[in-house]
């Protein structure tokens, strides 16, 4: 074991301790998959990342992303939090305000926008869930068929079953049966459109019992795939703000924009809450 630089970052909030915390081991060199997984399980955060030298041409650094239950090819809040930590530690991107992060899903573009960072959402694959699965998930969430406006399987490197519900009030009132969701084996993201609410136009919750997280405070990958789906279908505008974390006492804000090339960018503020070393 050795002393390694370590940071804990709060992502998707300008105010510390109201977003989604991320553990970042600034130098993961020499650690085995098992050691990374064990440490991620110990932190008990939704994700823990390990920064490494890049292996792909054009990347500024490489990141490996672990939940308490397994490794992810891509995730949003670890992307922004890891980039924040890398820049704060003196990382110098090759292309000015454009940072290129390497992860298992490939190369991810990140841009600096004043006080925020935003990542380019990876390509999305989506399809309709089976009626049987949808009925089982609805039962685990306590939803009636009438409360589900639309549903899609969403995959941008991590898979979510996305549900658009009839109102933000329905979203916030959910009390899921997490054991049932875990047994079904699917992470489930729910969203409700908020009318005439300037601060945030979409209310979101993410339930991830299959990977050891009952409810994620603020979820970049889910918000990315929701944006790609809902903007494409004309249900949401090309630019909006999503709120997530209300039921956990958080105030996450996810800034979404689809540019003229139809690329969706997902951004937010980050704050460093802990800096030090970890023995690994």
Q: Which CATH number does the domain housing residue 258 bear? A: 3.10.310.10
Domain identity same for 180 and 155: yes
Domain identity same for 115 and 163: no
pLDDT tens readout for residues 53-94: 999 999 999 999 999 989 999 999 999 999 999 999 999 999
Residues of the chain with pLDDT > 90, as a percent, come to: 92
Residues of the chain with pLDDT > 70, as a percent, come to: 100
Domain identity same for 111 and 198: no
Domain identity same for 200 and 130: yes
Domain identity same for 169 and 186: yes
Domain identity same for 201 and 273: no
Residue of 34, 47, 102, 232 marked active site: 47
Domain identity same for 129 and 258: yes
Domain identity same for 168 and 130: yes
If one counts the domains in the chain, the total is: 2
pLDDT tens readout for residues 10-55: 999 999 999 999 999 999 999 999 999 999 999 999 999 999 999 9
pLDDT at 69: 87
pLDDT at 27: 98
Domain identity same for 45 and 80: yes
What is the greatest pairwise CA distance in the chain? Answer: 56
Pair type for strands 20-25 and 48-52: parallel
pLDDT classification of 196: cutoffs 50, 70, 90: confident
pLDDT tens readout for residues 229-252: 999 999 999 999 999 999 999 999
Q: How many CA atoms lie within 13 A of 131 on its CB side?
A: 1
Domain hosting 93: range is: 3-120+267-279
Q: Is 257 a catalytic residue?
A: no
Domain identity same for 198 and 251: yes
pTM of this prediction exceeds 0.85: yes
Region of 44 (left: φ > 0; alpha: ψ -120 to 50; beta: rest) is left
Domain identity same for 39 and 22: yes
């Amino acid at each position: 074991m050795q002393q390694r630089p370590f940071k804990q970052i709060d992502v998707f909030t300008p105010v510390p301790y109201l977003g989604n915390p991320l553990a970042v081991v600034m130098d993961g060199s020499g650690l085995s998959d098992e050691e990374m997984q064990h440490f991620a399980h110990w932190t008990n955060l939704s994700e823990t990342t390990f920064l490494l030298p890049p292996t792909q041409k054009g990347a500024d650094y490489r990141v490996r992303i672990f939940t308490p239950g397994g490794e992810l090819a891509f995730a949003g809040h670890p992307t922004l939090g890891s980039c924040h930590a890398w820049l704060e530690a003196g990382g110098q991107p090759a292309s000015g305000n454009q940072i290129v992060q390497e992860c298992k899903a490939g190369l991810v573009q990140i841009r600096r926008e004043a006080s925020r960072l935003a990542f380019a959402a990876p390509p999305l694959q989506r399809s309709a869930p089976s009626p049987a699965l949808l009925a089982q998930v609805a039962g685990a969430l306590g939803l009636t068929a009438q409360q589900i406006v639309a549903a899609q399987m969403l995959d941008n490197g991590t898979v979510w079953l996305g549900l658009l519900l009839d109102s933000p009030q329905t979203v916030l009132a959910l009390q899921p049966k997490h054991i049932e969701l875990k047994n079904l084996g699917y992470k489930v993201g729910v969203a409700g459109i908020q009318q005439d609410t300037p601060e945030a136009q979409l209310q979101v919750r993410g339930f991830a019992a299959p990977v050891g997280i009952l409810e994620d405070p603020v979820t970049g990958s889910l918000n990315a795939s929701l944006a790609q789906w809902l903007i494409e279908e004309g249900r949401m505008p090309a630019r909006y703000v999503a709120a997530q974390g209300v039921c956990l006492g958080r105030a996450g804000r996810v800034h979404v924009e689809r540019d003229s090339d139809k690329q969706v960018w997902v951004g937010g503020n980050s704050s460093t809450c802990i800096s030090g070393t970890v023995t690994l």
